[in-house]
Structure 1
Amino acid sequence: DNWEGEATREERAAVVHRGRALGGTKTCIFVTGWGLEGSSPTVTTSDTDNWGDVHTRVGCGNKKFLHLDTQALRWDDPVNLNAFCDAAAGGHNGDHAENKRIFSYGFGSLVVAAAFENACVLRSTSRWYVIAPPTAGNVGVQYLVNGCSNSFGWMRDGRACAAQNSVRDGAASMTPAFSDSVLFGWAGFASRVRSKANGVMCGNTPFGVNSGSSAVMTIFDGLVDSLWRSGTRDGWMELDLCQAGAPSGTAWSTTDASSNYFVAGVNAIDLKCVGSNGWTGGDEKRPCNFYAEHGA
């Protein structure tokens, strides 16, 4: 397990948040990113595979982890939009999402933006925090999609490829060239995040917090370099594209997870609290703190 040191602020905050949870009236909702498969949407009270132990860190009285089929279905599929609104608003016919703390990642943020466009309403009592918004698509997914043409099945990623030269709808809807949605395109998505979200968290290094994902994300970052462009990435997506989800002139913090707009020194997997917090350093290596600070 990652040792978080003799931290004082984090441990004090954890006590406060545990106290809030005893009588918390808010519901925290987590909407995961691309790559998951499921026959129908489900909701659970934790999801350690995709969100680590974040359910123990937030102060909401209720927690909902939304599981969607992000392989077979596009982000704008009504099944996904309705499932989110049912979890957040109790319905998908213009129902209101009240007293919610919504955390969405990647593909999940597209689902949330589309749902608020088409199926339910985000009220002022709720907050929406966006993790790694793909404001111009995701070149990491594009790299996997390109591999669908490979004649060797073991070299094709099953999350992106149904068969040789056959791309799954979920992956296709995440590529930079995707322009088939009747709801909005990439620029429209970025605009909706800027106008409706209450905060954004980005990562800026593929190595991250020195966890099991560090080597994999560092290697993948090099592969993406060869496809797209060199730059600062979380191993999966460019930092500047993530930051395009914030209003112009936003002051970003790299040291304080209580900031609404936070750049952590972590990778794409760490951003979801999967690898827990880092062994050393302050908030810049403790992405789970962002959820603790905003999930109450």
Structure 2
Amino acid sequence: MTSRFLTVVLSLGCGCNSLYLLNGGEAGTSTGMGTSTGIDSSTGADVTTTMGPTEATMGDATTWMVVSISTNGESSTSAGETSTVETSTSTGDASSGDGPETTGGDKKPRLVFLTSDKLNGTIELEDEEAGNEISGLKRADWHCQKLAMIAGHDGVFMAWLSKKSSTADSRLGADDEINKHPLALVEGEVVAANWDELTKGWSNMDKRLDSPIIQNEYGDEVPANDSTFWSWTNRDGSWSGHSCPDLPIENQQYHGHVGKGSRTDHKWSTFELADCASSHRLLCIQTSFENPPADP
């Protein structure tokens, strides 16, 4: 029995319909919490998968599942027969599954990218209605994860964003092991040698990032004059004191800090204040080389 495609289930834990993405970027839907339907991109056949509700939470990260669907090569299943659902075991090395690759003794880089699209300050996901039922930080994390998976990247991705009670440093810098790895753009340019190099030492006004952050999830270049991103975060990963509300508040105007990917100096994360009604990119950072956790 062979696995035909990877299905990424982005379950928001709200009891509503779930979205999952096939390996070609095609979308399927989950009907309730038990049965998922989609299209096998290699044969065009309908595929139905039966599963119970599965939830997994990592701190402030979005709840999701990752499964692979295996079929016996037929376009449908007989009565009482269901597709086999297996937990994905990829750990960042698609060929061997032996864990993060290293080359010449160097640690595998954790990816950093600007999103190819833009969102307003309340992180409204107009085409992903269910995502608006959770906090702005989780909506942003959810969006980073979705774009990373569509672009073919393994691992967990979260947004460089802070609120007073939940900072980027505590959300994205909690794993001491991955913090030792360099942070790099999709095409390989190193932004910082490790997490400490990204977030510490900024009292030295001559300090710079090793590379500007001007690539999106596909490795395409982002124009320098269009590289602003919502951050609400100081360069050390702490809350900047200016963040946008989770939901729009009528007749009130709010401002949140944006960073600028083309900057490598001390203003890279707090370039300026922007109206929360305006639209900017997100900065997404890989926080694990393993795919999001799932229960079979």
Question: Do the two structures share a fold, i.e. TM-score over 0.5?
Answer: no
The TM-score with structure 2 as length reference comes to 0.27
Question: Which of the two has greater helix per residue?
Answer: 1
Question: Which of the two has greater strand per residue?
Answer: 2
